[in-house]
């Protein structure tokens, strides 16, 4: 079987660079999965869950906040602003955050964009929260 | 002898100062290493971004984006000044501020309306003293400045630039070249003069699939590149600050060593002079009696 490597990079550091069996990333309009041998691609990411299956068959999930994905040969590079393992997101904190964002009111069109983005982020995080 | 006691006191004070400066030097060294690691790790993101920009090049794309366009008339600009929250780091803050003041004067002479944004207590203090008005001041950018903090600033600049509220953005900071070379610069970062990798020929020769399209990816990647660049300015100035402090404290420690040495010598001489004169008195007294 051909190899597949996932390189997860944030502006602060490279979180990991390791072999995986398959990857699922949230694209701007849905999600996309990559298996070894995927044709080259550059895509825009949305917010949501990055799921990877390690060569031993375990599944790991991360919440990622937008960015880009590049598939080049066996290497899948994911560039994202922020990434948190779903196992580290607590449901309580995520629900609290959602409440907080819900109470925000946008005063102008510019504000609205920001609030809508934060709302989407809080919702997605709550949906992915795996810790009590 | 009063003089001798004074010397002992001074010697003690100098040794205490030496202990402090030596500790500060060690702290700065360890912080410098951490900061440098962070800066090196952050470089990977920039490298990947320019790789994708290079990939976009093969899509026969015209690189156009609001952030890349230079305005014909520059009326309003923002000057972001990055200084340290703490002093005792040699000429670090002073050289950034010198550049800032010169640049400010140059822009104001041209009739540009400059709004000044300053990070770091040292810079704020200096500009207050000079009675130069600041539009914004920040003190929360410390050693462990996170991307999220910088992103807030960066997004605001992007929005302002795109909406035409500002026509240019300069950053005054200390650029880190190597651990023995850093210098203060004022760098225009908006409009973006060129994207790294923009004129590079695609080396991979791969046929990429672009989702949703090369244009839309470009529209997203230009702000991302800008954010990464602004973040790099912050990281550079943090690394440079620690180096400057390290060097300054090393100098101070050496100086204290030298001073302690000469004080000790003076003290010994004074002590010896005391003994000699006491002896002379005893001998003189004995000679007078005999």
B142: pLDDT strictly greater than 70: yes
How many separate helices (H) and strands (E) can be counted in chain A?
2, 8
Q: What is the pLDDT of residue A104?
A: 81
Based on the fold, state whether residues A12 and A34 are members of the same structural domain.
yes
A65: pLDDT strictly greater than 90: no
Based on the fold, state whether residues A43 and A68 are members of the same structural domain.
yes
Tally of domains within chain A: 2
Task: Please state the rounded mean pLDDT for residues B65-84.
Answer: 86
Which CATH architecture is the domain B2-27+247-289 placed in? Orthogonal Bundle (1.10)
Q: What is the pLDDT of residue B216?
A: 85
Q: What is the pLDDT of residues A12-35, one digit of tens each?
A: 888 888 899 999 999 988 889 999
How many separate helices (H) and strands (E) can be counted in chain B?
5, 6
Closest residue on chain A to B163 (Cα)? A110
Q: Inter-chain contact A41–B231, Cβ cutoff 8 Å?
A: no
ipTM of the complex, rounded to two decimals: 0.84
Q: What is the pLDDT of residue A24?
A: 92
Based on the fold, state whether residues A31 and A11 are members of the same structural domain.
yes
Alpha carbon distance A66, A80 (integer Å)? 6
Does CATH number 3.30.565.10 belong to domain B29-245?
no
Q: What is the pLDDT of residues B103-112, one digit of tens each?
A: 999 998 988 8
Q: Inter-chain contact A40–B38, Cβ cutoff 8 Å?
A: no
B6: pLDDT strictly greater than 70: yes
Q: Inter-chain contact B224–A68, Cβ cutoff 8 Å?
A: yes
Strands (E), chain B: 76-82, 113-119, 136-138, 168-178, 181-190, 209-211
Based on the fold, state whether residues A76 and A101 are members of the same structural domain.
no
CB-based contact (8 Å) between B258 and chain A?
no
Give how far the C-alpha of residue A132 lies from the chain's centroid of Cα atoms, to the nearest Å.
Answer: 20
Angle between helices A91-102 and A109-128 (to 10 degrees): 160
Is residue A114 reached through a cis peptide bond, with omega within 30 degrees of 0 on the bond before it?
no
**In whole angstroms, how large is the CA radius of gyration of chain B?**
29
Q: Tell me, what CATH number does A13's domain have?
A: 2.60.15.10
Based on the fold, state whether residues A82 and A31 are members of the same structural domain.
yes
The per-residue DSSP string of B23-82 comes to HHHHHHHHHHHHHHHHHHHHHHHHHHHHHHHHHHHTT------GGGPPPSS--EEEEEEE
What phi, psi does B188 have (nearest 5°)? -75, 125
Cβ neighbours, 10 Å, residue B282: 10
Measured torsion, CA atoms of residues B37, A61, A71, A15, in degrees rounded to the nearest 10? 0
Listed by number, the residues of chain A in 18-47 with a beta carbon closer than 8 Å to a beta carbon of chain B are: 27-29, 32, 39-44
Q: What is the pLDDT of residues B26-42, one digit of tens each?
A: 999 999 999 999 999 88
Expressed as residue numbers, the domain containing A55 is 5-86
Could you report how far apart the first and last alpha carbons of chain A are, in Å?
A: 38
How many Å lie between the alpha carbon of B113 and the closest alpha carbon of chain A?
A: 24
Task: Please state the rounded mean pLDDT for residues B64-92.
Answer: 87
Task: Please state the rounded mean pLDDT for residues B165-187.
Answer: 90
Work out the mean pLDDT of chain B and round it to a whole number.
88
Based on the fold, state whether residues A98 and A34 are members of the same structural domain.
no
Based on the fold, state whether residues A29 and A78 are members of the same structural domain.
yes
**Number of residues that this document lists for chain B:** 290
The residue out of A86, A105, A120 marking a domain boundary is A86
Alpha carbon distance B177, B47 (integer Å)? 17
Based on the fold, state whether residues A107 and A75 are members of the same structural domain.
no
Number of A to B CB contacts under 8 A, please give it.
86
Could you report how far apart the first and last alpha carbons of chain B are, in Å?
A: 29
Alpha carbon distance B129, B144 (integer Å)? 28
Based on the fold, state whether residues A46 and A27 are members of the same structural domain.
yes
Based on the fold, state whether residues A55 and A119 are members of the same structural domain.
no
Chain B residues whose CB is inside 8 A of the A111 CB are none
How many Å lie between the alpha carbon of A81 and the closest alpha carbon of chain B?
A: 8
Mutate to test the interface with B, among A7, A8, A12, A26 (most CBs of B within 10 A): A12
- pTM across the whole model: 0.87
Q: What is the pLDDT of residue B200?
A: 57
Structure token digits, residue B5: 């006691």
Sign (positive/negative) of CA torsion B70, B71, B72, B75? negative
Q: Find residue B45's DSSP bridge partners.
A: none
Backbone region of residue B25 per phi and psi (left: phi > 0; alpha: psi in -120 to 50; beta: other values): alpha
Work out the mean pLDDT of chain A and round it to a whole number.
86
Chain A residues whose CB is inside 8 A of the B42 CB are 11-13
Based on the fold, state whether residues A81 and A111 are members of the same structural domain.
no
Reported as a pLDDT band with limits 50, 70 and 90, residue B125 is: very high
Domain with CATH 3.40.1380.10 in chain B: 29-245
Give how far the C-alpha of residue A88 lies from the chain's centroid of Cα atoms, to the nearest Å.
Answer: 14
Domain with CATH 1.10.287.80 in chain B: 2-27+247-289
Alpha carbon distance B71, B41 (integer Å)? 34
Based on the fold, state whether residues A100 and A115 are members of the same structural domain.
yes
């Amino acid at each position: 079987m051909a190899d597949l490597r996932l390189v997860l990079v944030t502006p602060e550091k490279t979180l990991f660079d390791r072999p995986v069996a398959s990857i699922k990333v949230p694209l701007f309009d849905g999600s996309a999965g990559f298996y070894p041998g995927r044709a080259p691609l550059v895509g825009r990411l949305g917010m949501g869950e990055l799921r990877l299956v390690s060569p031993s068959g375990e599944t790991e999930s991360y919440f990622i906040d937008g960015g880009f994905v590049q598939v080049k040969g066996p290497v899948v590079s994911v560039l994202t602003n922020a990434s948190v393992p779903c196992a580290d997101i607590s449901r309580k904190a995520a629900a609290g955050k959602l409440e907080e964002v819900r109470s925000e009111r946008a005063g102008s069109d510019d504000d609205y964009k920001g609030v809508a983005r934060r709302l989407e982020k809080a919702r997605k995080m709550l949906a992915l929260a795996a810790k009590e | 002898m009063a003089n001798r006691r004074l010397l002992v006191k001074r010697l003690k004070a100098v040794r205490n100062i030496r202990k402090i400066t030596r500790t500060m030097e060690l702290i700065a060294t360890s912080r410098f290493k951490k900061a440098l690691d962070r800066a090196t790790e952050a470089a990977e993101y920039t490298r990947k971004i320019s790789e994708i920009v290079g990939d976009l090049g093969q899509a026969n794309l015209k690189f156009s984006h609001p952030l890349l366009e230079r305005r014909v008339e520059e009326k309003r600009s923002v000057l972001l000044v990055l200084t340290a929250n703490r002093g005792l780091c040699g000429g670090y803050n002073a050289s950034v501020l010198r550049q800032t003041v010169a640049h400010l004067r140059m822009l104001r002479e041209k009739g540009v309306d400059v709004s000044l944004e300053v990070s770091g207590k040292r810079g704020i203090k200096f500009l207050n003293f000079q009675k130069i008005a600041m539009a914004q001041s920040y003190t929360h950018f410390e050693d462990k400045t996170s991307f999220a903090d910088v992103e807030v600033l960066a997004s605001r600049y992007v929005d302002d630039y795109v909406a035409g509220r500002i026509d240019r953005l300069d950053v005054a900071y200390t650029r880190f070249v190597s651990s023995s070379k850093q210098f203060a610069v004022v760098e225009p970062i908006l409009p973006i003069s060129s994207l790294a990798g923009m004129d590079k020929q695609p080396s991979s020769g791969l046929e990429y699939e672009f989702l949703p399209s090369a244009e839309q990816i470009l529209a997203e990647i230009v702000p991302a590149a800008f954010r990464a660049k602004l973040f790099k300015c912050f990281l550079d100035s943090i690394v440079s600050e620690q180096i400057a402090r390290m060097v300054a404290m090393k100098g101070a420690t050496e100086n204290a060593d030298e001073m302690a040495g000469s004080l000790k010598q003076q003290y010994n001489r004074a002590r010896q002079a005391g003994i000699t004169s006491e002896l002379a008195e005893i001998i003189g007294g004995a000679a007078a009696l005999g």
